[in-house]
Amino acid sequence: MKNLKPILISSLVTLLIVSLAFAYYFYKNQKPKKTTVAAAQTASTNPNYQIKDTLLNIERNKEITNSRATIITETVFKVSPAVVGITVTEIQEYRDPFSQDPFFRQFFGDRIYKRKIKGLGSGTIISPDGYILTNDHVAGNAVKTIVTMTDGRHFNAKKIGTDMTSDICLLKIDAENLPYVPFGNSDKILIGEWVIALGNPFGLFEINNKPTVTVGVISSLGLNLGVDNNRYYYDMLQTDAAINSGNSGGPLVNSTGQIIGMNTLIYSKTGGNIGLGFAIPINRIKPIIKDLKTKGKVDRNFWTGLSIQTINEGIVNYFKLSNVQGVIITKIAPNSPAEKAGLKVADIITKVDNIKIQDDVTLINLMHTKETNEIVTFQIIRKNKPLEKSIKLEPKND
């Protein structure tokens, strides 16, 4: 019989080694889990971690707060004090409807009545001594004009001058050291440039002495919108910044806080904003302000000496033109501004001051917006060659 003692000892040693190996294996795999749980518990319960987390949130809140102060908010803060609400009183005449009937008219005559009506609009202080820019259709016919500032003050405004043709009116209040908006240069505006429209829609200054602000971009430049109530809208700025009732006369400013246009029109079938707002460029307004300050009006009593005709198919065929819109000069008066400028019969006018001339109505309406002694650039075609001629709009001889 063999001795089993060595075999038994060997088996026990092997079993012990295997047991220790398994124990070590389970120990290694359980330890990371305990460490992970401990770390999570420490982060949630340790006061030092809570302090660090709170400080981190504070820093994040600071970043969020700082990011709210954008160039838009800074510009609005700077410009808002110079935006005013305008309340006007006009006298409207109306005829007795019965006076239209010959039977009643023979007894009562042509009876005309007057009534007061209220109107609202916006304006911009353009100098520290109280000159205010607005639209003619806002305050041009007013018999009384009240200006409301964002600080709650009210002023009676004096009408310095108004120009229906360009829809520009200049007011003045008796105050000094006022906030004002500096002029920009509308000739350097870029399509897609950010703009801000400020104003007093629906007369909200009476409730809240702060202007309403809308933001958009310049959608288009140099738009010719034609004539409305004897007001000529040419070379207009288009923006998708919302312009609503009562915003007329308010400023359209760029991101540096300069006025580049005056909010004037919206295109809407319902009266609400649909993203088609129009402003008069400030460079068109500047010379008119100068005239209104010095003369109270704009002098448009000039002449050119031109007779014109819209280009038609017969003219196109005769002169062998292609893709040309405009007017042809049919007659030039002797010793006229047109003759002095070197224009000739059969010249074709395609643009005036870079504004396209589609027909004779376009040119006539555009010339209504010009002033006496203004120099106007005519872009013409003569014998199929492009030329430019500058005309000084001389006063008419009585």
368 carries an active-site annotation: no
Q: Which residue has the tokens 């005449």?
A: 93
Q: In which order are the strands placed within the sheet that holds 154-156?
A: 154-156, 142-148, 83-95, 112-125, 131-134, 168-172, 158-163
**Range list of H helices, the chain:** 5-45, 47-68, 71-79, 102-108, 136-139, 282-295, 313-319, 337-340, 360-368
Q: What residues have CB less than 8 Å from 96, skipping those under 6 apart?
A: 108, 111, 112, 113
285 Cα distance to chain centroid: 14
220 carries an active-site annotation: no
Instruction: Spot the catalytic one: 122, 166, 186, 248.
Output: 248
Which 3 state secondary structure label does DSSP give 192? coil
Residue 172: strand pairing partners:
131, 158
Question: Could you tell me which of 279, 259, 291, 278 has the C-alpha nearest to residue 127?
Answer: 259
Supply the angle between the helices 5-45 and 47-68 in degrees, to the nearest 10.
Answer: 40
136 carries an active-site annotation: no
Q: How far apart are CA 116 and CA 134, in angstroms?
A: 21
Instruction: Spot the catalytic one: 137, 163, 166, 219.
Output: 137
Q: Are 314 and 330 in contact (CB under 8 A)?
A: no
Question: Could you tell me which of 113, 296, 89, 86 has the C-alpha nearest to residue 201?
Answer: 86
Question: Could you tell me which of 352, 390, 348 has the C-alpha nearest to residue 373?
Answer: 390
Q: Which residue has the tokens 């915003």?
A: 247
Q: Encoding tokens for residue 95?
A: 């005829």
Neighbours of 183 (CB within 10 A): 16
Q: Are 213 and 189 in contact (CB under 8 A)?
A: no
Instruction: Spot the catalytic one: 136, 163, 167, 291.
Output: 167
Q: Which residues are catalytic?
A: 137, 167, 248
